[in-house]
Amino acid sequence: MQNSAVISLESVRCARIFIFIFFAVIACAGVGGCNGSGSKQDYSYVTAPEVVLRDRLAAAYAKTGVLHNGERVVVLERQQNRRFVRVRSSRGEEGWVQERYLTDQQTFDEFQRLVEQFKNTPAQAVAEVRRQVNLHVTPGRKSEHLYQLNENQKVDLLERKVADKNAAPGAEAQKTENKEAESEPPADEERAPGKPSVEPVLEDWWLVRDSQQRVGWVLGRMLYVDVPIEVAVYAEGHRIIAFYILDRVQDEDKSVPEYLMLLSENKDGMPYDYDQARVFTWNLRRHRYETAYRGASLSGFLPVTLGKENFGKEGDLRTFTLQVADESGKLHPQKYKFNPPIVRQVLAPGEEPVPKVHHKPAKARKGHSR
C-alpha cells in the first residue's frame, strides 16, 4: 500500500509538470515565441513621399491607409514573387503595398550610424536642393535610399566623394589621380576578345545633413551652394565648392562679411575637392568686394579649419588651414593668416611650401562627365 501511494504521488507530480510545460509553451506561442526567437518582428521603412495601402491585390481595391516617407511599418506577409507586402502602420492601418516603396532595417540602421558619426562635423557650406531628391546611404545612384529632401530645402555640406554613374551599389570611384592611374591597365595589355572598353562616368556626391539632423548622400548636381550673390559673381565660370566667413567689417550702418571661397573646374569627377582658394575683402572706400588672395593649381581636400591666433606685433588674427596634396598624393596642412586685406602663409621653422601640382588638362582625364 505504501509503495502504491508513493507511485500515485509521483504520477500526480509528473502530470502537474507536464500541464505546466504545456501551458507555458502555449503562452510563449501566443506572444511570438520564447527566448526572443519568434518575437523579432520584420520592420521596413517607407522610401516614397506617400504610399497608399490597399485592402486587396486587384485592379479595384479600397484604400485602408496612407504611409509617409521614413515611416516604420511591420511586415505581416510577403507575396511569393515579392512584388507586394502586407504591412501594418503604427496607427494600426493594414494593407498591401509595393515592395519597391520600402527598404529594410539594415538600411535604416546604416543611416543611424551616419547620424552618430557626423553629428558634430562642422558644415563646409550650405546648399539648396534644386528639386526633390533621395538621400542615399552610400554614394551612387544604385545604392539604397530612404529619406527624401524637398525642393529649396537647405542642407549642410559635409564631405564630397566621386562615384561611377553605372557602378554596382557601394562601389566608389578613386579619389586621386595617383589611385586612378594605378587602376588603369598597362598600355600594351590586350583586352578580352569581344569585351568592349567602358570608361566610368564619374559623378560628384555630397554627404549632407538636413534640419532634422538626418545624414546621407545626395547627387551633387541636385545641390546649389547658397553663396551670396555679391561674391558669387567672381566665380568666373568655376564651380563654387564651399565658402567661409573669415571676418566682418563695419561699413556705415551695415556689417559686411569677408570670405574665403574654394572653387574647382565646372566638371564632376575631379580627383580633388578644389583647385583654387580665394579671399574676398571689403573695400571701405569703394564699398565693394576685392580679391585679396588667389591660390591656384591646388589639389585641395575638405575640411577647412578656421581659427584665431596671436602673431605678436600683428595681434590676434584670423587663420584658415587648407589640406593640400603634393605630387605623391600625401596631404599637407597649409596655414594662412588674415590681416585684412593681406593674406600670408604661415610656415613653421624649416617648413617649405607644398609645391604646386601640375594638373592634367581636363580633356586628358578619364571618365569625367561634361
Domain layout of the chain by residue ranges? 43-103, 118-170+201-226, 238-361
pLDDT in tens, 259-309: 999 999 999 999 999 999 999 999 999 999 999 999 999 999 999 999 999
Q: Give me the pLDDT at residue 81, please.
A: 75
Task: Examine the pLDDT at 117 and tell me if it is beyond 50.
Answer: yes
Summary mean pLDDT of the chain: 83
* Confidence at 66, pLDDT banded by 50, 70, 90: very high
Residue 197 vs residues 36, 194, 200, 266: alpha-carbon distances, Å: 52, 10, 10, 26
As a residue count, the chain comes to 370
Q: Give me the pLDDT at residue 193, please.
A: 54
Looking at the chain, the whole-number percentage of residues with pLDDT higher than 90 is: 67
Q: Give me the pLDDT at residue 168, please.
A: 72
Average pLDDT estimate for 3-31: 50
Q: Give me the pLDDT at residue 187, please.
A: 41
Pick the CATH number of 118-170+201-226 from 2.60.40.1180, 3.40.190.10, 2.30.30.40, 3.40.50.1370: 2.30.30.40
Q: Give me the pLDDT at residue 171, please.
A: 57
- Taking the C-alpha atoms of residue 75 and residue 233, their distance in angstroms, rounded to an integer, is 52
pLDDT in tens, 23-49: 444 444 444 434 333 457 899 999 999
Q: What are the b/e assignments for 41-54, b being 16+ CB within 10 Å?
A: eeebbbbbeebebb
pLDDT in tens, 210-220: 999 999 999 99
Q: Give me the pLDDT at residue 80, please.
A: 74
Grid coordinates of 296: 591656384
Which pTM does this prediction carry? 0.77
Q: Considering just the CA atoms, what is the radius of gyration of the chain in Å?
A: 30
Same fold, 43-103 and 118-170+201-226: yes
Cβ atoms 325, 299 nearer than 8 A: yes
CATH of domain 43-103: 2.30.30.40
Average pLDDT estimate for 180-184: 38
Looking at the chain, the whole-number percentage of residues with pLDDT higher than 70 is: 78
Cβ atoms 272, 288 nearer than 8 A: no
pLDDT in tens, 321-354: 999 999 888 999 999 999 999 999 999 888 888 7
φ/ψ (deg, to 5) at 257: -75, 150
Task: Examine the pLDDT at 51 and tell me if it is beyond 70.
Answer: yes
Cβ atoms 367, 202 nearer than 8 A: yes
Q: How open is the CA angle 55-43-88, to the nearest 5 degrees?
A: 25
